[in-house]
Chain A
Amino acid sequence: MSGSLVLKNLIQDCRKLKKSFGFQYICNEEILTKALNKLNLPAKYPKPNSTKILEIYPGPAIQSLITYNILKPKQYILLEKHTYFHNLITKHILLNNEYTTSIKPTFTGLESIAKIYTSKDTKNYPNLQLTDLNPYNWESYSHITNFNVKTSKTEDPEHAIFLPSTQSFDKVHEEFLILGNLTGNVTATATGEALYMQLLSCITRQNWLQRFGRVRMVFWVSEATARKLVTFPGDKARSKASLLSETFTETKVVALSNSAQINPDVNKPCSASMFNKRVIDRDDPYFYDAKNMDLIEPINGAVLKKCGLPVLIEISPKYNTGEIWDTWDYVTKHLLVLKTRPLGESLNSLGPGAFEYFNRVIQDKSLLEKPSNTLTKEDFIYLTDIFYNWPFKPDIMMDFVDVLQDD
């Protein structure tokens, strides 16, 4: 069977799918191809022979096959925990010749040994693998990379299931790409958005998979999530996530539906239900046809209505020393609590007496009048510096909120 036929059969089967566990998957080959082409991956990953791709929540894996064909990587591993998709993928592409890995899972905290499925279609997808490890668990990644959390070392690299190369932090990694779909509820309590934020924070700490270098990540997220990530100061959706993205990464909108709303007037603040036109102009994304995308609908139509259609986002980590990352994190978190109120009002949440101190130290008092969501990333770095030099700053920058009792 040819590669394209495999894909065709898979898509055929996908159309019969009635549920997608809350995720949204576009199953239209043309749309997916155009969206992925927009990324211009071959230029970014010039050496297919040493390139590795990790994809989380691939769902029906249609996008995986297309990406595979674009890059023809050395290794392409899928992490999918839903049996439903699992069966679909094994049926069409993979052998169920599971093998158990040689590593001992003791230091990863996993109780069962991972099952790894490899491709039976050695002609078309020789390097494609699938595992049922749960992408939501940090341990899954330690497990496949043979990373011992306790010793902070990669043990027995020879036998790791999936170990990318380590590259220097002065450029974006050229041999390792992370792909994924974070449109849905990844657990009963956490959404894909929550996971996205966790992965983002790994960039600042340069830990987890970001320890291999500045690893590019490409995710499908819901419109609601995307709008929070790409903002300009003053936008209603401006949040800590926007600042984090802006400060530590270059985050771009790659593809979105033609039904997404875009703020018509650049001079007016962008509402939370729209994309900022300046972002769209800057990123020049591909607009797919919302009517013709073969979306596997999430179970709950209301969720779709609230979150909007999938948006493809590319995240390229920037170089950062990250020295006062903890402080930056604390400062931005607290100052954005009341983001539409003047900065002066939120300063006290940094600690007792913060207002008096900042008021004394800040030269340009007009800054205090500005609502927090209109501040630039530079403003926040400036404020972080001031805070860092405050002798009476709180020494414990953690909040311990206990289980709430009701009155």
Chain B
Amino acid sequence: MLKFAKKFGHSYEKSFFRDVLRRTSSPKNIHTSLILNTHSTKITLKPTESVTSLDPSTSALDVINFTKSKELTTFSPGFEPFDRTYRNNDTDNATKEVMNLWPLLEACLHLGYLDRAFSILTSLYAIKTHRQFFIDDFNKYLLKYSEIGGTKNGPCTVSQLENHVFTTLQTNFSGVDYNDRTVSVLIHHSIKVGKTADPEKLANNINKYLSMGLKGQKEIMKNTDILTLDDYIILINDLKLVKKEDLPTHINFLFEKKLGNEGDNASNMNGCITNGGGMLQEQRHHIDLDKNVETLDKDGIEELISVDTIGMKVVRQTLLGLSLSDNQLERLQKFLEQDILSANHKSFNFMDIYKSLKTEEEIKQFDNLLEEINHERQIQLERRATDAARERWRHDFEESKKRGELVGIKKKLNVTLWEWYEKMLPLVEEEVRRCQEVLTKDKSLLTAADDKRLQYAPYMILVAPEKMTVITILDLLKLNSTGGVIEGMRTARAVISVAKSVELEFRSEKLLKNESNQFKTVNKNSPEFKMLVKRAKFSFRDSELEKSKILWPQDIRAKMGSILISILTHVATVGVQGRDPVSNKMITGEAPAFYHTYQYHNGSKLGVIKIHKNLVSRLSEDDLVSAVQPQLLPMLIKPRPWKSWNNGGYLYTQSHLIRTKESPEQIAYLKAVSDNGIIDKIYEGVNVLGDTAWTVNKRVFEVMSKVWNTGGDFLKIPAVTTELRLLPPLERDADPAKLRDWKLQNKLLANEFSKNRSMRCDANYKLEIARAFLGEKFYFPHNLDFRGRAYPLSPHFNHLGNDMSRGLLIFWKGKRLGPQGLKWLKIHLANLFGFDKTPFQDRVKYAEEHLADIKDSAEHPIDGKGWWKEADKPWQALATCIELNEAHKLKNPEDYVSHQPVHQDGTCNGLQHYAALGGDIEGATQVNLVPSSRPQDVYAYVAKLVVQRLEKASAKGDEKATVLKDKIKRKVVKQTVMTNVYGVTSIGATEQINKQLLPVFRERGVSFEYSKYLTKHVFASIRKLFKSAHLIQDWLATCAKVISKSIRIDVDERSLKNGTKPDYMTSVIWTTPLGLPIVQPYRDASKKQVSTNLQTVYISDPFQVNPVNSRKQKAGFPPNFIHSLDASHMLLSAIRCGRMGLSFAAVHDSYWTHACDVDIMNESLRDEFIKLHEVDLIERLKNEFDDRYRNYLQIMQILRSSPAGIKLLVYRKKLETKLNRPVTIMDEIYLEKKRREYLASEDKALVDKGKNMETSVSIISQYSEEELKSMESASSSSGIIALTPLKIPDIPPKGDFDVRELKNSKYFFS
């Protein structure tokens, strides 16, 4: 070993590349960056010939024109501890340790345990790989120290703090330097301590500190979370030591408005923050509900009969945040003729006011006011969930007490919840008290139980016991019937969920507190100034949220969650009733509301927390299966625009741009592009989606709530069901076959029951939210899935939902129809009826022929003929009927101001992208990429091809073909054609086809045989139509297979721990045309065991990087790649439409806008599609792969007896003698790495050395691909392992279709 190392002049143990990783950008390390590029995201965009030859004037939006960029965009993940995505013994553990110490440090500092915090600092310091980031941990400590540190004689003085910094850094943390943040702490502290004393001394101190800055004053001033507004005022106005220009912009513009010390007379705050306490007080005030404020009083709208459901109560309670304060009413009054101040209005239909406004000026004023009011209301909405819930329970409890209804089993649910709360709170308080106790206890006195408690104690005391109690109750209720457990939940999920909610609460509280701290000096009240402060706060939140990357460790979450849950399960009871088998009398009693138990699933034991069925039925006949997340409702103001990967969306709730399943790798890449400003287009596109204002369609809502309140089933809303009815038990000696059927039937009944219940609940939920948002202007913040597809963050009520949700939503903004708009509105109606395969004029005609039906549907939706109910999408059809009817009431229907989103859907959008990639002319024609006088129907076309094939086969005497040939309808093949793009397997396709054939053949077995047979023909037909596209699909799959079975050259020891069989760690990574890196997250799951006081739970460790799942990587890549393209197309279209001022919304491949703007939108989306595909995206992908995986190796088996095999054996023998031990693959990789380093060196001598060096890879590289193929061995007995450079296969040939033809294809999206 040593001999080997010396020979190459490097200590083998000190894996040098690890050290080098931190110097990625340094030009000195060119030879090492070669290695880095292989796993960093170096992207080379190579424009193809066809692109460069294009006339630049064809591009309307140069900035979007990503592909024209000739510049090389190189970036690499920063490799902070959080981002380490490669696997390595040392760093892996270090990362975990840092990730565990950070939250602990955060907690201890928050609580003011300075000594403990200091010892955590010592531990962090000890982690060598973390050393370079250590100073920021120290700064956190220092900030707290400056607040509370000091001696008995008083708070710490300026010089004490200064001394503390420098002595500590010298003695305890040698080698660590202060930075600009350290300086800002010192400045902040000197102002705090010295502002009232000697100004000269203060100025001197500050001058000294300012001169200590490493990167200038700007850097020091940037730390807005340390320096308060007060500090800035003193620095600029009083001491005049800092220039305004050096302040961060959002603070700077406050100074433009002459912020001084004059604004003391803050008589009317109106929710404007004067100090932290003030805001909280106002919150409390709002939720003090001693009146029967059942729901928001929306004028004239019947209240929904909602049952006593907890979720609903919470939502309603939260929605009360929507009601207006007196001051807000006052401000609104000026827009109204009627007197709203005297009438007891609590809410308004803003839509009605908006519609009544006449002049542009009025509208502008109203918009501004609404935004101002809504901003205040949005804060309320996000911040009040738990308090609101608790207040509501208390209120109902008091009411019941007054009425004397506190006994019996039919107590109001809220009363029960309040009782739990009251019983649980003292126990939680006791637990918190004990946690505090162990934290301050002398270490030598700790008992074993104390030690256990000590693990989670610092976290347990961060959030008030009252809040934790409410959170626990709400969380357990919301998890009802999740994870496949009926009337219960999996323990592992529950414990984590509860703790996560507590964590979330802690974070937003902290944010709010910092915010109040920062702005506590601001108390001016002019509206203009308030706008400025609002802007400043926005920026402040941005910077705060961006910083948070601290997560509580999973095992801590598990332990905390289980403690809270077990306290609740201990105290929470429900009333029960039962018949005593002995006396045969009905008796009542109390039973636990939650209980921990185990169930068997597929033979393995599953820990679950069950909810007593009495409680479940009380949760209502419409039990709320979906999560209760009042904090994630639609927003009343435009979402915070996305500015970085973790910054955008709600005001206080942090969201990430990409929804990841705790994949650190994905986050690292995302962060890298985000930090480098590469994905601004992505932000822009997502922001367009978020900026679209919506409101609730009142007319449709009225119909829905009427239907709802009857309780019967209607369209897809199931009727109310109260009790699960199972089949009567069988006789004891029933045949096992019968018994099995009986069990199966009962299971189906149970599933059906719970499905219906959850569907009804879901509908209830949507309606209730819709009702609260009637007349409101609201927005949906969006983020993306890992392929880049956009989704609204608010889960329950959004435009992605079912027909019911969509029917309830219209654009806030109205636009005059005009001739084209009227036409498109009619087409939209025809489309909703499924009449979408004919030319536009026919669809218009269809609507016109039904004018009487439209009128009847609009005017008598329930008691009329109900034509609208026959539509494919009835609720949306009703909404459209209403608009058309209103329009036709006008003298000129074109004058109608329409709010209805009109949809344009792609024709099998996945195939459209494939056809464009592959250039299949016939395929492109069938999916409407080629102009045509009528829309093409790809499903019908494929069905036709299938029939042709069958006829041929039948003629040759194929019996099955003869039976099938006249049974092939469009519908039979539709689903298979649609899902083919997304990699449906032959089994899956057979099932799809079987579903269609079953009614024909009746018997399952027979039908299945025929389906199996037919599937082959369907596949073959699709293949024929999309020939090149399929070659591309195959190519994508092959690439994924090769990549996911490759080894990185700077591999670490652990992935080779199995000797010759390495763990494959490489996932498929690519960059979308908009620059978004996509990392396929498919890896083998590994779970770690955490014992809690409920049970042992198995939890996946988010910081563990596991070997890739090659099968999933391969199967997932083709569809994911296509999705990344359709997502890009959507965002490109969104940006374009946004820039043209269109209202734009999208559900994947369905794009929505106002009827009058459909033509403009259509043109834009065609242009963007052309622009997207003018570049050979496959070639681009190949280039990227070649670059990204350039230094990777593959493993193959070479015949021992082949020329290469013999050479290899000789080489290994030689090496073995040299090393005096058997050669490992690791050795070979190491040598190859060295060789490549030499070759890449600038030193000619080293290059020569590299050229002369022989490695196993260089031996293999002498042979051509064909030669190697002939030497490949199928078995390990006749072969030996050989390393070969990773080779991405060549791109398949492309067809002749030119995507520019699309320009005039009006049925592309229609």
Q: Tell whether A and B belong to one assembly.
A: yes
> In the complex, what distance in Å separates the CA atom of A137 from the CA atom of B734?
16
Chain A residues near B731 (CB-CB < 8 A): 152
Chain B residues near A353 (CB-CB < 8 A): 576, 589-592, 595
**CB of A1 within 8 A of chain B?**
no
| CB-contacts of A340-368 with B (<8 A) | 348-349, 351-353
Contacts A348-B595, A403-B484, A405-B483; A138 near B737 (Cβ below 8 A)? yes
**CB of B216 within 8 A of chain A?**
no
Of all chain A residues, which has the CB nearest B1005? A111
Chain B residues near A208 (CB-CB < 8 A): 735-736
Report the minimum CB–CB distance from B1192 to chain A (whole Å): 30
**CB of A220 within 8 A of chain B?**
no
Of all chain A residues, which has the CB nearest B661? A407
Contact of B734 with A152 in the complex, beta carbons under 8 Å: yes
Contact of A202 with B598 in the complex, beta carbons under 8 Å: no
Report the minimum CB–CB distance from B736 to chain A (whole Å): 5
Contacts A400-B747, A405-B484; A149 near B735 (Cβ below 8 A)? yes
Question: Which of B707-715, B738-746, B925-933, B1171-1179 touches A?
Answer: B738-746
**CB of A338 within 8 A of chain B?**
yes
> In the complex, what distance in Å separates the CA atom of A226 from the CA atom of B589?
45
Contact of A138 with B592 in the complex, beta carbons under 8 Å: no
In-complex Cβ contact of B483 among A198, A202, A325, A404 (8 A): A404
**Max chain B Cβ within 10 angstroms of own Cβ: one of A138, A334, A402:** A402
Interface size on B, residues (CB 8 A): 51
**CB of B587 within 8 A of chain A?**
yes
> In the complex, what distance in Å separates the CA atom of A334 from the CA atom of B483?
21
Chain A residues near B735 (CB-CB < 8 A): 138, 142, 147, 149, 152, 207-208
Of all chain A residues, which has the CB nearest B614? A352
Chain A 313-348 per-residue mask, 1 if CB under 8 angstroms from chain B, else 0: 000000000100110000001100110000000001
**CB of B733 within 8 A of chain A?**
yes
**CB of A398 within 8 A of chain B?**
yes
Chain A 391-403 per-residue mask, 1 if CB under 8 angstroms from chain B, else 0: 1111010111111
Contacts A111-B1005, A149-B735, A205-B733; A398 near B743 (Cβ below 8 A)? yes
> In the complex, what distance in Å separates the CA atom of A109 from the CA atom of B595?
42
Chain A residues near B738 (CB-CB < 8 A): 149-150, 152
Report the minimum CB–CB distance from B261 to chain A (whole Å): 54
Of all chain A residues, which has the CB nearest B601? A401
| CB-contacts of B727-763 with A (<8 A) | 729, 731-740, 743, 746-747, 750-751
Of all chain B residues, which has the CB nearest A348? B595
Chain A residues near B724 (CB-CB < 8 A): 396
Chain B residues near A400 (CB-CB < 8 A): 486, 746-747, 750-751
Chain A 137-149 per-residue mask, 1 if CB under 8 angstroms from chain B, else 0: 0110010000101
Of all chain B residues, which has the CB nearest A148? B735
In-complex Cβ contact of A404 among B484, B590, B610 (8 A): B484
Of all chain B residues, which has the CB nearest A189? B602
Chain A residues near B343 (CB-CB < 8 A): none
Chain B residues near A393 (CB-CB < 8 A): 578
**CB of B8 within 8 A of chain A?**
no
Report the minimum CB–CB distance from A395 to chain B (whole Å): 9
**CB of B963 within 8 A of chain A?**
no
> In the complex, what distance in Å separates the CA atom of A400 from the CA atom of B579?
24
**CB of A211 within 8 A of chain B?**
yes
Chain A residues near B599 (CB-CB < 8 A): 399, 401
Of all chain A residues, which has the CB nearest B598? A337
Report the minimum CB–CB distance from A201 to chain B (whole Å): 8
| CB-contacts of A203-218 with B (<8 A) | 205-208, 211
Report the minimum CB–CB distance from B1039 to chain A (whole Å): 27
> In the complex, what distance in Å separates the CA atom of A400 from the CA atom of B745?
11
Contact of A349 with B743 in the complex, beta carbons under 8 Å: no
**CB of B605 within 8 A of chain A?**
yes
Chain B residues near A150 (CB-CB < 8 A): 738
Report the minimum CB–CB distance from A56 to chain B (whole Å): 14
Contacts A389-B581, A400-B751, A407-B493; A198 near B591 (Cβ below 8 A)? no
Of all chain A residues, which has the CB nearest B724? A396
**CB of B596 within 8 A of chain A?**
yes
In-complex Cβ contact of B593 among A207, A334, A352, A390 (8 A): A352
Report the minimum CB–CB distance from A206 to chain B (whole Å): 5
> In the complex, what distance in Å separates the CA atom of A123 from the CA atom of B612?
68
Of all chain A residues, which has the CB nearest B596? A348
Chain B residues near A401 (CB-CB < 8 A): 484-486, 599-601, 606
In-complex Cβ contact of A352 among B493, B591, B606, B746 (8 A): B591
Secondary structure type dominating chain B contacts: mixed
Chain B residues near A109 (CB-CB < 8 A): 737
**CB of A388 within 8 A of chain B?**
yes
Chain B residues near A392 (CB-CB < 8 A): 576, 578, 589, 591
Report the minimum CB–CB distance from A199 to chain B (whole Å): 9
> In the complex, what distance in Å separates the CA atom of A111 from the CA atom of B1003?
10
Contact of B581 with A334 in the complex, beta carbons under 8 Å: no
> In the complex, what distance in Å separates the CA atom of A394 from the CA atom of B610?
12
Report the minimum CB–CB distance from B759 to chain A (whole Å): 15
Chain A residues near B739 (CB-CB < 8 A): 205, 207
**CB of B597 within 8 A of chain A?**
yes
> In the complex, what distance in Å separates the CA atom of A393 from the CA atom of B595?
14
| CB-contacts of A164-215 with B (<8 A) | 198, 202, 205-208, 211
**Max chain A Cβ within 10 angstroms of own Cβ: one of B483, B589, B736, B743:** B736
Report the minimum CB–CB distance from B743 to chain A (whole Å): 7
Contact of A348 with B751 in the complex, beta carbons under 8 Å: no
Contact of B579 with A402 in the complex, beta carbons under 8 Å: no
**CB of B582 within 8 A of chain A?**
yes
In-complex Cβ contact of B736 among A111, A202, A338 (8 A): A202
Report the minimum CB–CB distance from B864 to chain A (whole Å): 40
**CB of B5 within 8 A of chain A?**
no
> In the complex, what distance in Å separates the CA atom of A149 from the CA atom of B592?
42
Report the minimum CB–CB distance from A194 to chain B (whole Å): 8
> In the complex, what distance in Å separates the CA atom of A351 from the CA atom of B486?
14
**Max chain B Cβ within 10 angstroms of own Cβ: one of A202, A211, A352, A404:** A352
> In the complex, what distance in Å separates the CA atom of A337 from the CA atom of B603?
11
Contact of B751 with A352 in the complex, beta carbons under 8 Å: no
Contacts A352-B595, A391-B579; A142 near B737 (Cβ below 8 A)? yes
In-complex Cβ contact of A207 among B591, B601, B736 (8 A): B736
> In the complex, what distance in Å separates the CA atom of A407 from the CA atom of B497?
11
> In the complex, what distance in Å separates the CA atom of A337 from the CA atom of B582?
29
Chain A residues near B597 (CB-CB < 8 A): 334, 337, 348-349
Chain B residues near A333 (CB-CB < 8 A): 600
Chain B residues near A407 (CB-CB < 8 A): 483, 492-493, 1100
Chain A residues near B596 (CB-CB < 8 A): 348
Chain B 474-487 per-residue mask, 1 if CB under 8 angstroms from chain A, else 0: 00000000011110
| CB-contacts of A374-390 with B (<8 A) | 388-390
Contact of B733 with A206 in the complex, beta carbons under 8 Å: yes
**CB of B339 within 8 A of chain A?**
no
**Max chain A Cβ within 10 angstroms of own Cβ: one of B724, B729, B734:** B734
**Max chain A Cβ within 10 angstroms of own Cβ: one of B595, B613, B1100:** B595
**CB of B726 within 8 A of chain A?**
yes
Contact of A338 with B598 in the complex, beta carbons under 8 Å: yes
| CB-contacts of B549-600 with A (<8 A) | 576, 578-582, 587, 589-600
Chain B residues near A147 (CB-CB < 8 A): 735
> In the complex, what distance in Å separates the CA atom of A114 from the CA atom of B874?
52
Contact of A402 with B751 in the complex, beta carbons under 8 Å: yes
Of all chain A residues, which has the CB nearest B603? A194
A residues in contact (CB < 8 Å) with B: 109, 111, 138-139, 142, 147, 149-150, 152, 198, 202, 205-208, 211, 322, 325-326, 333-334, 337-338, 348-349, 351-353, 388-394, 396, 398-405, 407
Would you list 10 pairs from A and B whose C-beta atoms are within 8 A, ordered by A residue?
A: A139-B737, A205-B732, A207-B736, A337-B598, A353-B591, A353-B592, A389-B580, A389-B581, A401-B484, A405-B484
Task: With A338-B598, A349-B595 given, name 6 new contacts (CB 8 A).
Answer: A152-B731, A207-B732, A325-B732, A348-B597, A352-B593, A396-B724
Nearest first, the 3 closest Cβ-Cβ pairs linking A and B are A353-B591, A391-B578, A349-B597
